Structure 1
Amino acid sequence: MRIIQIAGYKNSGKTTLSTRIIKMFTETGLKVGSLKHHGHGGIPLGFSDTDSEQHRKAGAMFAGVEGEGVFQFTAPDLRVEQLIDFYAFMKMDVLVVEGFKEKPFPKLVLLSEEKERRLLDRVENVKAVVSPFSFGSAAVLPTFKRDETAALLAWLKQDMIDNKSEYEWK
């Protein structure tokens, strides 16, 4: 199973991008799962009008959400690695992980404001950045603007094919 993680601060476009990635891989015939970190307080129970429901509608065979120690399937004290093992057990080809910034999975980082650049110093295994501002000649990672979603998706699809082992869950 290959993993791509979407990281960014609140309202940075994580769910919108996650949904597009899920749809892209689903349309290519892959089995796609999603795992979302619910970091906004409260227990993430319920299904209607939620981000995980958007993931399901986009084609995720399993759409889970975790927050404050509660996974949508309700299991206490699960580590994210155990949750990912669940998706691997369910034979997903691709898992889109939204949130869990501190985890070392291959990730796309979404930035909304210049001051959010500090996130790039706090996370590891960044594959590309989506940002409204330019990094100019200092860019060492592939960087896309928000309106370049098609280019980002094409790049991601190719990178996950060319560098498959970097994305595989071990």
Structure 2
Amino acid sequence: MGPDCRVLQIVGFSNSGKTTLMEKILERCKEELAWNVVTIKHHGHRGERLYDSREVKDSDRHLKAGAMMTVVEGGGDFILHKQNHVESLAQTIKLLRYLEADFILVEGYKSECYPKVVILKGHGDQRLLDGMENVQVIITWGRPFEADVPVFSIYEEEKYVPFIVKRIRSL
């Protein structure tokens, strides 16, 4: 990846809307910025193989929304899916040595240090924020609340999607 490649994480508990938000951000980045976006999806279910998992299906949704490539990682497995066919071993090696991505959108990896959007669905989800670093935006299924970063209702998509894309541009 280029040294100036932007990275943003989307984190939250299961079924909070992470994949749907990733799709909306991908579509916006593709349409407005014509960026090459790679997605990485964390597979956090130990002992479960990736090939038939929900994470692979979610990464397919990332591709349909405009990602040029997706990565699903977890439990010792690593799946990279590039949208366009790679024709030779040399091209594959070149791809893995240097990905020409403008932006990497990561779903999951809550404890990592990259800038992140946090989605809170249930009452107890606010504990997710305890000790979390580099939170840029919070999206809540409940009432917005006071925080050190912007907080949006999940129903304010017309506000938070452009805000997040603008924030990505400044990373």
TM range (shorter): 0.7 to 0.9
Q: CA deviation at 1:134?
A: 3.0
State the aligned residue count: 151
Rounded Cα–Cα distance in structure 1 between residues aligned with 2:59 and 2:9 = 15
Matched, 1:71 2:58: no
Contact 1:47 1:53 in 2 (8 A): no
Give the counterpart of 1:24 among 28, 37, 51.
28
Stretches of 4+ aligned residues off by more than 4 angstroms: 46-49
Quick one: structure 1 residues 47 and 109, their matched pair in 2 at CA, closer, same or farther if it must change by over 3 Å?
closer
Q: Look up the SS of the partner of 1:147 in the other structure.
A: coil
Contact 1:12 1:111 in 2 (8 A): yes
* Structure 2 unmatched runs, 5+: 81-94
Q: CA deviation at 1:149?
A: 1.6
Q: Give the TM-score taking structure 1 as reference length.
A: 0.81
Quick one: structure 1 residues 46 and 113, their matched pair in 2 at CA, closer, same or farther if it must change by over 3 Å?
closer
Matched, 1:115 2:124: yes
Q: Give the TM-score taking structure 2 as reference length.
A: 0.80
Percentage of matched positions with identical amino acids: 35
Corresponding residue number in structure 2 for 1:131? 140
Corresponding residue number in structure 1 for 2:102? 93
Larger Rg: 2
Corresponding residue number in structure 2 for 1:159? 167
Q: CA deviation at 1:125?
A: 0.4
Counterpart AA for 1:160: I
Q: CA deviation at 1:88?
A: 8.6
Q: Deviations over 1:133-163 (max 9, x none)?
A: 2354x322101111112211111122223x3
